Structure 1
């Protein structure tokens, strides 16, 4: 089909310079776009737009504008392109050769009287940031990832650092195993022993091997005042502890693995390539000295509502009664919604719930695709999108200034088949996920004005040489009964890896003390939002370190070679643990099921499947998760109709 071509320019009617991105779509000629920096009152262009003239023309237009100064500062989109819209129709004619569109704070004016209202997505910001992305991975300490990276200026361990386990000295070494043979303890009481060197209330002996191993008694350490830190108990805790399922102590010959650190350039080539061209934050700490769930809650709400350890069977049922986990002062998503700032969630999941990036996805489980953020009150599973759409979505108008990305957690028995970099999985699923996220953003039109924060929820039991500082407690005084250890949240957790990836961030090292509440603080400072708690009120954010103009940055990303695959583990009849990730994820599954039943009662009743009255084994849990995710797919189909 022959095409006519018109040169489309655009005039800036804002009171300040603007970055203008114009999108043209046509069923006949596909999508086109152009981006310009346009001075106030000036015209820039042109986009050579291909079109078919006449009655059956199908040209649609969307414009996004970032204004960084003046009374009109903010991020804008025309109403026809907002919230996934297709843009505004405006037909070009055969005589159109040079056309000028106009865009200002109120109107997007096209030719022949066509126009559309403009919507401001964000208020004024002190830096030229249009989009913030956050990717949180799992269970690695800063030294474990970066001690042997060779990046100049980092505060890291050396081979002179050591821990004792009994009478045996274990020094920091180069070359960590790609996957751990057992899951290092990282529950609250484990971390207490790791960072203070004082044994907590561990049971004396692990349970005897059995077809259905029983969990050891839950630890009961109480710390109204946190003892002094020495970071001297990591090796001892790993050698003697068994708090993580399947409750196995490591082979004595493998105890030193807890002190081993990656040869970053060789073993983590994607992380190394990104870190050497980004801002590496070498004093980013977990928000509390504890495990995954409370630390992940901090990134969403600068608090964990008093939760200081992993979810306990029956102990978190109140989340379901509340229709989700609540914060006394709301989450960062509540705060964004109050100011009409859109946000979006992605997670690593194919249609069946398996990882898109793991080198062993067949070893995963549908339970591992359940996003932890789906536990939050006001956040629906239907808000989550598969990362297979992420790169394509970013090539289009993307009216979501804040985006949170979750990995796939794999199988909760072995953690294989995920992309979270959990210690019992290999690191390459996470490497591939990280590469895909960075590549999608830097190939998009938003790269020059985007900030990607990459961090890890907690240290996973691995050694780190930097002592955790004191912290300001959230001060939200929740009375939800989730505090097991009388912890007052006045101490940060172990240091974790973190990077600020952006043309607006200089390459190098940032020694500022951050924690996960710094993500909330960054968003609040960027868009003028009120703090959620005392923790984010007093937290530091990366905003002051950002540049006023982007640098020229393109990160060449390598393709890591995965290790040899391993056989699947028969876990069908293994009993579920009483606490931990699987317990928390099952609570999210129940929340999802209740949400879908309320929203689509007829369809969900028809799709209902029988399940055991009590979920007792991993097979029960995985089958139930698979059934519920099938209902999620059905619900999305109903919404799309």
Structure 2
């Protein structure tokens, strides 16, 4: 039976590398207004699982040996030489800087410290500060414990409070961008646990939701906020390289919103390389806030608004702190993943990331969790699309993770659509310029190497010439992709 009959358009935007606590942890603090109006399902706890000032991380690995790093005494969680408590705001919109580590092995240490992964770890989520210090050599590793507060992120905070936010939504794998975005689109990462030093799209060549939508005759489009760099979703999946007319520019999205001609399913990408607004550390979150505000303005003022569901999420936590330990019990999606790379069987979820659902059919102040024993993750979107469009089993993706995932049906529970359009404030500041002389981050490198493969070039040879972000920009200028319509 089809779900969400009141929805005709689903729009999804996925930003980069921020944990739930980093973006939404200080939302709904006791004594502040507004507070949640409902928790879903109604049987779930009536407390928002955000940050508390008592949460901390040790600053020295000696903590895991039960000794104080300074005094050789028994360690105490309140010892200022031994631990650092979470801060009440970030020092800069470009925090943390430098970029934290996010590969599978680094995330494993962030979540388990020196122990092997287990369902009942001794030090859950206690390895963030030490990993940040070890991986980056940063002089101030405690910067990883400085999340943003709502005043610093007025757009996403206001959207979350005026509609729905989940405090139990996890990315699909405790690792990087490519595997998590692949789960978002395909319900599997084809056994890959990391992006790879030089990602090859043919290692990720799996059937995805866009193939499914094409097969069932559903309309889909992908819009990216850049003209120079090809969309990441496009270069990731070779079976999408033939669909030129489905990839457009963000200005086209705004025009389609204004005319009310949205596709049934829309996926939005930020800019990852040129004036990046993806919020990937240390990119300025103000740029991402501006992008989200532009999306909100376009969607909420569209004639299609009464029939639209907008979802905002992040691909993975990117090494930023979160206090909730990701659960075990995830369904391994396919034979290629059991086991996959590094012996991982994909039996546990990644770190919590924000998930905000926006629709006139959603009550303001909603906090939602899974109505089943399986938590929300990126494949919940795919399960929702499946049931919303009544996609037959023989045409749907075969991932066991999707089959186990809960849908978002419970969140759109108003009997009539709201007629109010909340006033979502724009960011108060201007985004800082992103230097192009710095080394490209992993996702920027992957865009270069994947586009090189797409063009039939040797990606390893191309990457030798990419020493900084300006080199990447020059590569895309010299090797243009199909211009968006």
Report the TM range for the smaller structure's normalisation: 0.7 to 0.9
Equivalence for 1:378: 239
Structure 2 counterpart SS, 1:385 = strand
Distance in 2, Cα, partners of 1:370 & 1:126: 29
Distance in 1, Cα, partners of 2:431 & 2:419: 38
Distance in 2, Cα, partners of 1:400 & 1:567: 33
Structure 2 counterpart SS, 1:136 = strand
Q: Find 1:617's aligned residue among 461, 467, 472.
A: 467
The answer to whether the 8 Å contact 1:226/1:491 transfers is: no
Distance change >3 Å, CA 564–CA 370, structure 1 → 2: closer
Distance in 1, Cα, partners of 2:427 & 2:190: 39
TM-score of the two chains, using structure 1 as the length reference: 0.63
The answer to whether the 8 Å contact 1:282/1:510 transfers is: yes
Where in structure 1 are there 5+ consecutive unaligned residues? 1-122, 201-222, 243-248, 354-365, 412-416, 598-610
The answer to whether the 8 Å contact 1:305/1:482 transfers is: no
Equivalence for 1:304: 189
Distance in 2, Cα, partners of 1:564 & 1:632: 29
Distance in 2, Cα, partners of 1:125 & 1:181: 43
Distance change >3 Å, CA 612–CA 235, structure 1 → 2: closer
The question of 1:140 aligning with 2:18 is answered: yes
The question of 1:332 aligning with 2:217 is answered: no
Equivalence for 2:9: 131
Equivalence for 1:12: none
Q: Which runs of 4+ in 1 moved over 6 A?
A: none
The answer to whether the 8 Å contact 1:302/1:536 transfers is: yes
Structure 2 counterpart SS, 1:241 = helix
Distance change >3 Å, CA 567–CA 435, structure 1 → 2: closer
Distance change >3 Å, CA 339–CA 173, structure 1 → 2: same
Q: Find 2:86's aligned residue among 172, 177, 192.
A: 172
Distance in 2, Cα, partners of 1:613 & 1:155: 43
The answer to whether the 8 Å contact 1:149/1:272 transfers is: yes
Q: Find 2:320's aligned residue among 430, 437, 462.
A: 462
The answer to whether the 8 Å contact 2:452/2:462 transfers is: no
The question of 1:392 aligning with 2:255 is answered: yes
The question of 1:517 aligning with 2:396 is answered: no
Distance change >3 Å, CA 472–CA 396, structure 1 → 2: same
Where in structure 2 are there 5+ consecutive unaligned residues? 29-34, 37-46, 61-68, 70-81
Per-residue CA distance 1:481-504 (angstroms, 9 max, x = gap): 994311110000110111001112
Q: Find 1:452's aligned residue among 310, 327, 330.
A: 310
Q: Find 1:348's aligned residue among 196, 208, 225.
A: 225
Q: Offset at 1:592?
A: 4.2
Equivalence for 1:552: 419
The answer to whether the 8 Å contact 1:372/1:585 transfers is: no
Map 1:543-622 → 2, pairs under 5 A:
543-547=409-413, 548-562=415-429, 565=432, 568-571=435-438, 580-594=442-456, 615-618=465-468, 619-622=470-473
Q: Offset at 1:138?
A: 0.8
Q: Offset at 1:477?
A: 1.5
Q: Offset at 1:286?
A: 0.7
The answer to whether the 8 Å contact 2:236/2:450 transfers is: yes
Distance change >3 Å, CA 554–CA 312, structure 1 → 2: same
Distance in 2, Cα, partners of 1:281 & 1:307: 27
The answer to whether the 8 Å contact 2:448/2:472 transfers is: yes
The question of 1:161 aligning with 2:51 is answered: no
Distance change >3 Å, CA 585–CA 292, structure 1 → 2: same
Distance in 1, Cα, partners of 2:434 & 2:411: 47
Distance change >3 Å, CA 373–CA 487, structure 1 → 2: farther
Distance in 2, Cα, partners of 1:563 & 1:277: 24
Structure 2 counterpart SS, 1:273 = helix
Q: Which segment drifts farther, 490-499 or 141-150?
A: 141-150
Distance change >3 Å, CA 626–CA 291, structure 1 → 2: same
The answer to whether the 8 Å contact 1:311/1:583 transfers is: no
The answer to whether the 8 Å contact 1:469/1:491 transfers is: yes
Q: Which segment drifts farther, 528-537 or 439-448?
A: 528-537
Equivalence for 1:233: 127
**RMSD after superposition:** 2.7
Equivalence for 2:42: none
TM-score of the two chains, using structure 2 as the length reference: 0.82
Distance change >3 Å, CA 373–CA 470, structure 1 → 2: farther
Q: Offset at 1:591?
A: 4.4
Distance change >3 Å, CA 343–CA 296, structure 1 → 2: same
Q: Offset at 1:158?
A: 0.5
The question of 1:502 aligning with 2:383 is answered: no
The answer to whether the 8 Å contact 1:370/1:588 transfers is: no
Equivalence for 2:79: none
Distance change >3 Å, CA 374–CA 556, structure 1 → 2: farther
Q: Find 2:145's aligned residue among 246, 259, 267.
A: 259
Structure 1 counterpart SS, 2:294 = helix
Distance in 2, Cα, partners of 1:445 & 1:582: 36
Structure 2 counterpart SS, 1:173 = coil
